[in-house]
Structure 1
Amino acid sequence: MEEQKVDHHLQQAFAHLREALRVSIAMVLTDQSSKEKIGKKWEVFFGEFFGMVKTQGKEHKLNLLSWISFPKIWRW
């Protein structure tokens, strides 16, 4: 089923992001001077991700971000 594929890929992505976050925190705790370099990597990642969402949305005439309730996200 296609929905299961979505679940699977999101779970994999989450596992990778969780590990990237863990490594990022460990690096900065070990070496405060790496904070700017690691922060830049996260900026690039989020910029590319949201850029991709925007581009795909325009290509398919869908507002992909409207599918998400941002107030629910920020409650965490």
Structure 2
Amino acid sequence: MRRATGIIIGILMGAIAAGLSTGFFLHKANADREKLAAQLTETAQTAQTAREQNRQTIQEANNKLQNANSEISKA
């Protein structure tokens, strides 16, 4: 009986250690997932801002070109 108790205690300790390590790594993976999701959101916002700035720059260039064309036609 003593030997069986030792084996059962060993198995129980191994199961506890495996459960704790699994929980730790699941927690780390979840934290990484949340961090990556935040980075994705930030990157999407940065890309949207860049697209908007690009659109504004193109609009300004078109306006300058239109003004230049009207000046040329006046001359």
Structure 2-normalised TM-score? 0.41
The structure in which a higher percent of residues are helix is 2
TM-score for both structures, normalised by structure 1: 0.41
Return the structure number with greater relative CO, CA threshold 8 A, min gap 6: 1
Which has the higher Rg, Structure 1 or Structure 2?
Answer: 2
